[in-house]
Structure 1
Amino acid sequence: MTDLLESSSPAETETPSRHLPVWVIVLAFLALAGFMTLIGWGLSRSMRGSIAVGDKVPNFSLTTFDGKPFSSDQYAGKVVLVNFWASWCKPCEQEARELEEAYQQYKNKGDVVFVGLAYVDTEPNSLAYLEKFGITYANGPDLATKVSQMFRVRGVPETYVIDRQGRLAYVKIGPFSSTDEITAALEKVLAE
């Protein structure tokens, strides 16, 4: 019976606790989260287009707000100005009238085509925006952001000018400051 009393108590036979310190767990979690963020960022960037100045622009098409088809390849041999905008974008408002003024200067010459693409916007808000600023050149929604992904649009407004050979010739990130700035960009591309 003394053998039973002399046997080890449960406290003496338990294995020591092997818990990791909390800071190690937190650090491992943060490292994993950072790694996953990098992987996701890399994948999203690789899935987007990568048109650079001088590159051939792939054909893109859309249906304008007035129901007409627009396809960039139907304007081969012309300079095409592509403007990404949104009704909720305050900087877009800064250039809206200037873009329309520039369009009015070029529309009857036949060598420059303007097209606007509403970026992540609703049709009612887009139509109200076009009416508010008196915009008459072709505009339509960028459905599922297909065209903006092709151009790797990061925000709005962004404007791209495609030359007569179908290559990207000019990129403007942010709003134009004047009609003169727009016409200068177009004249440079027309002179090439």
Structure 2
Amino acid sequence: MNVRRLGLTVAALLLMPAAGCGAATDRGSADRGSAAGRVAASETLAFAGTTVDGAPFDARTMAGKPALLWFWAPWCATCAAQSGSVTAVHDEYRGRLGVLGIAGLGDNRAMREFISDMEVGSVTNLDDSAGSLWRRFRITEQSTYVLLDRTGHVVSTSYLDDQELRAELTRLLA
């Protein structure tokens, strides 16, 4: 971890309570009426987008294995604090778990800076400035994780701390 990232992470942790970001209200719930939950599993990953770097991305490439969708914003202190965990999860479960960042509530330049500063470039991150994916999955706050099982069913839509994320992933990958 470089010195700048360490400083930003420490600042993010200190500012989290004051920043007003994080903590979706559907903490740890399974698929209770969410828009994605009502969509057939085969359709959950039937979306495409453009990465923050401008490359096309088709989410159907993640079908057939569990997936973690991380909805984040470039100015969110909670998201900055989670970035190291998301990268670690991506690296640890490569090939067994699809990991996709979905950036919103900011402009592309700020998204690129966040990815660089937080060193999450190994994770595919979509630019959802228009909020279409945030609306599709009924995300109302950052940082929110959406966990999908192997069949594409939404099993959780919530804020999770690092320990809770690891526990959910262990259960999902069992």
TM-score, normalised by the number of residues in structure 1: 0.65
Match of 2:152 among 163, 166, 188: 166
Secondary structure of 2:37's counterpart equals coil
Quote the offset at 1:55 in angstroms.
6.1
Equivalent residue, structure 1, for 2:165 = 182
| 1:93 aligned onto 2:76 | no
Contact 2:69–2:101 (8 Å) recurs in 1: yes
Quote the offset at 1:181 in angstroms.
3.0
Quote the offset at 1:143 in angstroms.
3.9
Instruction: Name the Cα RMSD after superposition.
Output: 2.0
> 1:141 and 1:54, CA in 2 relative to 1: closer, same or farther beyond 3 A?
closer
In structure 1, stretches of 5+ residues that fail to align are: 1-48
How many residues matched? 138
Equivalent residue, structure 1, for 2:96 = 111
Larger Rg: 1
Structure 1 counterpart of 2:165, one-letter code: I
In structure 2, stretches of 5+ residues that fail to align are: 1-33
| 1:74 aligned onto 2:61 | yes
Counterpart mapping for 1:14-163 below 5 A: 50-52=35-37, 56=41, 57=44, 59-107=46-94, 110-135=95-120, 136-163=122-149
Contact 1:53–1:168 (8 Å) recurs in 2: no
TM-score, normalised by the number of residues in structure 2: 0.71
Quote the offset at 1:50 in angstroms.
1.9
The structure showing larger relative contact order (alpha-carbon pairs under 8 Å, at least 6 residues apart) is: 2
